[in-house]
Chain A
Amino acid sequence: MRAFDYVRATDTREAVRLLAEDPAASCLAGGTTQLDLMKDGVLEPPRLIDITRLPLHGIERRGEALHVGALATMEELAADATVSERLPMVREALLQGASVQLRNMATIGGNLLQRTRCRYFRDPTVGACNKRAPGSGCAAVQGAARMHAVLGASERCIALHASDLAVALVALDAVVHIQGLSEARTVPLTEFYLTADDSPERENVLEHAELITEVEIPLPPPAARSGYLKVRDRASYEFALTSAAVLLVVEDGAIRQARIGLGGVGTKPWRAYEAEHVLTGASATTATFRDAAEATMHGAWTVPGTAFKVPLARRTLVRELQTVSGVTA
């Protein structure tokens, strides 16, 4: 690991100012991505700003929205009463991610900003990685790509965004609150991420001297039912091969509202608008669910290692639509 200055910030504006002073500085939250990649030699900030003591830990319900401080941990959010009651799919996505130890460290802001698990990105001895070294190519396209993406992917980069939580949050239309040097702004999570075909090296719209301060989750209508299904190689403590976050409002057999997020398949947490379009207004039947899944995976870009994900993702979505709706016919 390269040497760095360690600075502990105690005030949000101070943290932003410290970041702004040094264009190469990074902030440190739970450290489960940041320190890991520093040990691998992928990230080498000369200055690390520890933001874990900033007063951004609260989780508070205000009206029909849950306001989650960026430094609340995954375990804290999973244990929140409003999450259990109104956001079961957030709870399921959280508790199926990582391990308890990691979830006690990992923060909500850090989770949204976690970097890809692509093994070629994480190994600086690999020359070809457009994300690490723009213009150098992509080793994964010809390599071991079982854990890679098919949506938003191209020959430039097929790196997966591996967050489970973010998949549930894009489906729920969560909003990211951002503090910059001179102003604060909010960005819908669906517009926060950039796809790899835009720019493998730039993953989201956050600027250098900006901090995520809060994630706001609008509560779905009480009539909505939701769930998160994660398909993986091990029963626990493993990243998704595919996953589906499904929220439905069904009345008299007709789908009034559908919100779908897909994980394990996208270079960003994937909101499946095409599937929602097919589902909304249609009758809740397995045939409809299959059509929705078909529409979603239509634009997939695969390499031999990832081709299996297209049918698997379709089946994952159909299964979760059946589970959430209670319709198996």
Chain B
Amino acid sequence: MTDVASRRDVGERPAAPERIMTLTVNGRPYALRMDTRVTLLDALRDRLGLVGTKKGCDQGACGACTVHLDGRRVLACLTLAAQAEGRAITTIEGIADADGPHPVQQAFMEHDAFQCGFCTPGQIMSAVALMAEGRAGSDEEIREFMSGNLCRCGAYPNIVAAIRDAASRGGHDARL
């Protein structure tokens, strides 16, 4: 709890420490040498080219960077890449299968649940987790447990409709 004591002169600092990290993303392992400061979000986008995960606020406020870590939805912008080592990371690029889009992706297209599309990958990752959590029981529940995903375009009514529809079709069994 010592903000003041933690301040040091730039001159005292060694070169930025690096670390070799092994990240398992959408089932595939990647070994990367990275600065310890790199967030999971930047590692995904800038190092692995997986740009589906979006950077909105970069401060934990908007939900655009939502990914799954060991099956749970988290914010990649407030997770260090180093913290994600040894965990199963799933991104928007990893939820469809050979047969086609994930039921939630399909429902978002059918319900026109976006305008600019920037928040959409985060919304979908959040919605897939929401269904697995068993929290898509009513519109009210969907709104409450999707509140961490902001949409600047205000596509909320169609987002709720898409999730309601996907939940009624795939139920809680929708693939994670």
Interface residues of A (CB under 8 A from B): 1-6, 8, 23-24, 26, 28, 30-32, 35-36, 39, 42-46, 48, 50, 52, 75, 98-102, 104-105, 113, 131-134, 201-204, 206, 208, 235-237
Give min CB distance, A46 to chain B, whole Å. Answer: 6
Asked whether A28 lies within 8 Å of B83 as measured between CB atoms, the reply is yes
> How long is the Cα–Cα vector from A44 to B126 in the complex, in angstroms?
31
Residues in chain A near residue B75, CB distance under 8 A = 32, 101-102, 105
> How long is the Cα–Cα vector from A196 to B1 in the complex, in angstroms?
14
> How long is the Cα–Cα vector from A131 to B4 in the complex, in angstroms?
9
**B-side interface residues, number (CB < 8 Å):** 43
- B60 is contacted by which of A4, A46, A50, A102 (Cβ under 8 Å)? A102
Closest to A98 in B: B148
> How long is the Cα–Cα vector from A28 to B20 in the complex, in angstroms?
19
Q: Mark B139-166, 1 if CB is under 8 A from A, else 0.
A: 0000111011100000000000000000
> How long is the Cα–Cα vector from A312 to B15 in the complex, in angstroms?
52
Residues in chain A near residue B126, CB distance under 8 A = 100-101
Which of B6-14, B44-52, B100-108, B109-117 touches A?
Answer: B6-14
Residues in chain A near residue B13, CB distance under 8 A = 2-3, 46
> How long is the Cα–Cα vector from A100 to B69 in the complex, in angstroms?
13
Asked whether B4 lies within 8 Å of A43 as measured between CB atoms, the reply is no
Q: Mark B60-86, 1 if CB is under 8 A from A, else 0.
A: 100100100100111100111011000
Asked whether A35 lies within 8 Å of B78 as measured between CB atoms, the reply is yes
Asked whether B147 lies within 8 Å of A208 as measured between CB atoms, the reply is no
Asked whether B8 lies within 8 Å of A3 as measured between CB atoms, the reply is no
Interface residues of B (CB under 8 A from A): 1-8, 13-17, 19, 35-37, 39, 58-60, 63, 66, 69, 72-75, 78-80, 82-83, 126, 129-130, 133, 143-145, 147-149
A236-B4 CB under 8 A given contacts A35-B80, A39-B58: no
Give min CB distance, B140 to chain A, whole Å. Answer: 10
- B148 is contacted by which of A1, A5, A101, A201 (Cβ under 8 Å)? A101
> How long is the Cα–Cα vector from A23 to B5 in the complex, in angstroms?
8
Q: 4 smallest A-B Cβ distances: which pairs?
A: A99-B148, A236-B147, A3-B16, A6-B36
- A4 is contacted by which of B1, B36, B130 (Cβ under 8 Å)? B36
Asked whether B83 lies within 8 Å of A31 as measured between CB atoms, the reply is yes
11 other contacts beyond A1-B37, A44-B7, A203-B1, with CB at 8 A cut-off?
A2-B13, A3-B14, A6-B17, A35-B80, A43-B3, A44-B8, A99-B148, A105-B75, A201-B4, A206-B1, A208-B2
Asked whether A6 lies within 8 Å of B82 as measured between CB atoms, the reply is yes
> How long is the Cα–Cα vector from A111 to B131 in the complex, in angstroms?
26
Residues in chain A near residue B63, CB distance under 8 A = 99, 101
Residues in chain B near residue A35, CB distance under 8 A = 39, 78-80
Most buried by B among A23, A32, A35: A35
Give min CB distance, B97 to chain A, whole Å. Answer: 24
> How long is the Cα–Cα vector from A181 to B3 in the complex, in angstroms?
21
> How long is the Cα–Cα vector from A186 to B104 in the complex, in angstroms?
48
Give min CB distance, B45 to chain A, whole Å. Answer: 16
Asked whether A3 lies within 8 Å of B36 as measured between CB atoms, the reply is yes
Asked whether B19 lies within 8 Å of A6 as measured between CB atoms, the reply is yes
> How long is the Cα–Cα vector from A201 to B7 in the complex, in angstroms?
14
Q: Would you mind naming 15 contact pairs between A and B with Cβ atoms under 8 Å apart?
A: A3-B35, A6-B17, A8-B82, A31-B78, A31-B79, A50-B80, A75-B72, A100-B129, A100-B133, A101-B66, A102-B60, A104-B73, A105-B75, A132-B3, A236-B147
